[in-house]
């Protein structure tokens, strides 16, 4: 019997990562776009092939986690991939890190609670790591959340170029707003659970994104008018 869309979403929720956010984090996820791979194939939302041995892995759940803002620019999307075995066990996990992919499950599996992998989110920038000490190796850990807040304006990547564009005016407004959100990472982290209402198929999330961007730009325009 084929698994329905709603059943896959419920399964995705039952394996969703637990995210640890800095205590001073200004931005939390808005949506989670779900894709389930029952066989190897290209990700629809990240530039990579999802490959796995079918004898060990039954399916892979891809979580495209969406924020309307990160500290450096308008909108952010990070990813987590959970590899599920034929007996429902978590076989492996991977997570996005500034356009690359890190292993998300530690070798001794100490960051796995039940079916939920615990991952840390870089303060403001949201890249994922199973170990927060990794962020301490980044030379811009503090400047990205502070003096460089808003430096990238409205980021427009290849996926969204057909749907919206930016301008010097838009970039300036984004930067002005995000500079009001600048903060000093505490490097003290708190648990955050993704809410059931955030979950949807990737296809649905993809159709929502252009309007989310337009709405945020309109809000920034209104803020400019009231100043």
pLDDT digits (tens, 9 = 90+) for 169-226: 999 999 999 999 999 999 999 999 999 999 999 999 999 999 999 999 999 998 876 6
Nearest to 115 by CA among 85, 136, 144, 95: 85
Question: Which uninterrupted H or E stretch holds 63?
Answer: strand 59-70
What pLDDT does residue 117 have? Answer: 98
What pLDDT does residue 1 have? Answer: 58
Question: Which uninterrupted H or E stretch holds 226?
Answer: helix 202-226
Residue 108 CB coordination number (10 Å): 7
Pure H helices in 29-88: none
What pLDDT does residue 226 have? Answer: 60
The gap between the terminal CA atoms of the chain, to the nearest Å, is 58
What pLDDT does residue 90 have? Answer: 98
What pLDDT does residue 223 have? Answer: 80
pLDDT tens for residues 49-107? 999 999 999 999 999 999 999 999 999 999 999 999 999 999 999 999 999 999 999 99
For residue 82, CA distances in Å to 60, 79, 94, 122, 142 come to 6, 10, 7, 20, 30
Global confidence as pTM = 0.96
For residue 138, CA distances in Å to 132, 144, 190 come to 11, 10, 21
Spell out the domain ranges in the chain. Answer: 5-226
pLDDT tens for residues 123-161? 999 999 999 999 999 999 999 999 999 999 998 988 998
What pLDDT does residue 25 have? Answer: 98
What pLDDT does residue 88 have? Answer: 97
- Is pLDDT above 60 for 227? no
Residue 13 CB coordination number (10 Å): 16
* Confidence bin at 2 (pLDDT 50/70/90): confident
């Amino acid at each position: 019997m084929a698994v329905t869309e709603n059943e896959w979403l419920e399964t995705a929720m039952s394996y969703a990562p637990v995210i640890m956010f800095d205590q001073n984090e200004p931005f939390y996820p808005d949506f989670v776009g779900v894709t389930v791979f029952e066989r190897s194939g290209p990700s629809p939302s990240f530039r990579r092939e999802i490959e796995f041995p079918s004898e060990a892995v039954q399916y892979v759940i891809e979580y495209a986690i969406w924020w309307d803002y990160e500290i450096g620019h308008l909108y952010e999307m990070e990813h987590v991939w959970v590899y599920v075995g034929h007996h429902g066990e978590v076989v492996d996990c991977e997570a996005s890190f500034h356009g690359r992919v890190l292993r998300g499950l530690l070798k001794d599996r100490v960051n796995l609670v039940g079916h939920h992998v615990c991952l840390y989110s870089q303060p403001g920038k949201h890249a994922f790591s199973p170990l927060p000490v990794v962020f301490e190796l980044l030379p811009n850990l503090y400047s990205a959340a502070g003096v460089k807040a808003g430096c990238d304006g409205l980021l427009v990547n290849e996926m969204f170029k057909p749907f919206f564009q930016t301008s010097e005016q838009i970039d300036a407004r984004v930067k002005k707003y995000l500079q009001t959100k600048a903060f000093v990472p505490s490097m003290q982290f708190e648990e955050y659970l993704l809410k059931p209402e955030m979950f949807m198929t990737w296809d649905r999330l993809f159709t929502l994104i252009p309007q989310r961007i337009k709405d945020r730009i309109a809000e920034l325009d209104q803020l400019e008018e009231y100043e």
